[in-house]
Structure 1
Amino acid sequence: MGAPLPDKWKGFNRGCYDETTDPDEHMDAYTTHMSLYSTDDVVLCRVFLTSLKGGALSWFTKLLPNSIDSVETLVAKFDVQFATSRPHHLTSIALINIRQEKGESLRKFIDRFGKVATSIRNLSPDVAMHHMLTTL
């Protein structure tokens, strides 16, 4: 905790992690923001607590003294602690159950289908089109 802060340090201003959002997204935002100021493990570990609030901050402050020896250790402990906060990732199987409801306009159905389809990582356009045609 005695490590000096980087010159022109303005703090982490991307919103504090509170266990309700994706921990991977928070860690990505944190490391990207911090890389503008420093890549020193000591600084990254020291400043990390400023990116937390609520239960996440409580967890961090209860870590055993000297239990974090590198950013890799910090990330590993953070990943394990907040693994259940990760969002459930959909697969193309989720598209099978989407059906155009009785009385639903084609526009509304396509909008609803599109919202689900865009939330699926690496979804092939061919697979999406196949599912859309079979659900109509």
Structure 2
Amino acid sequence: MDLYDRMTNPMHHLSNFKSRVYLADASNTTRCEAFPTTLTKAAIKWFNNLPPRLVTCFDDLARKFLTRFLIQKDKVKHAPSLVEVKQEIDETLQDYMERFNKACLEIQNLPTNAVTIGFVNGLKEGPFSQTISKRHPTFLYEVQERIEKYINMEENS
């Protein structure tokens, strides 16, 4: 089970935890003691700062957890959010492409032209961005065909 670090949906984390401990027929006390072992970073800090004896049962702990972290639930992303994905100064084309692809996977019903435009606009200044700006691609496969040569050049330099 992944540790909860405040970046994902707390309802999914709690549901995953509950299904595991209920299958193990864990007692209320065991659930309360085991739950903090699934937390990390800000979430474990929150737990460690709970006043003693504030939590009376696991359901109480679960409610407090959700109350604190529910604002972190999954947010719907749209195509314009790709504008925020920019290639970093020291980032390779390969790493940028992977990070950009992950950002695309978070968007449902993403238009293909938005992917192409977003990827090209996020490129840092360099040989690949210069060549692609001379003959702007219409389709994503055109970008993919042209990028391989530049990725190989980066890896060999």
TM-score range, shorter chain: 0.5 to 0.7
Deviations 1:10-33 (A, max 9, x none): xxxx01111011101110111111
Greater RCO structure (CA 8 Å; 6+ sep): 1
Cα distance, 1:37 vs. partner? 1.9
* In the alignment, structure 1 residue 45 sits paired with structure 2 residue 32: yes
Q: 1:30 is matched with which residue?
A: 17
Q: Aligned partners of 1:50, 1:95: CA distance in 2, in Å?
A: 33
Q: Which structure has the greater CA radius of gyration?
A: 2
* In the alignment, structure 1 residue 56 sits paired with structure 2 residue 43: yes
- The alignment's C-alpha RMSD in Å is 2.6
TM-score where L is the length of structure 1: 0.56
Q: 1:116 is matched with which residue?
A: none
Q: Aligned partners of 1:16, 1:25: CA distance in 2, in Å?
A: 12
Is the 1:38–1:44 Cα contact (8 Å) retained in structure 2? no
Match of 1:82 among 56, 60, 69: 69
Choose between structure 1 and 2: higher helix proportion.
2
Cα distance, 1:103 vs. partner? 3.8
Unaligned runs of 5+ in 1: 1-13, 106-136
After the TM superposition, which parts of structure 1 deviate over 4 Å for at least 4 consecutive aligned residues?
none
What SS class does the counterpart of residue 83 from structure 1 fall into? helix
**Residues 104/18 of structure 1: CA separation in 2 closer, same or farther (3 Å cut):** same
Cα distance, 1:61 vs. partner? 0.8
Paired residues for 1:66-81 under 5 Å: 66-81=53-68
**Residues 100/55 of structure 1: CA separation in 2 closer, same or farther (3 Å cut):** closer
Cα distance, 1:99 vs. partner? 5.5
**Number of residue pairs aligned between Structure 1 and Structure 2:** 90
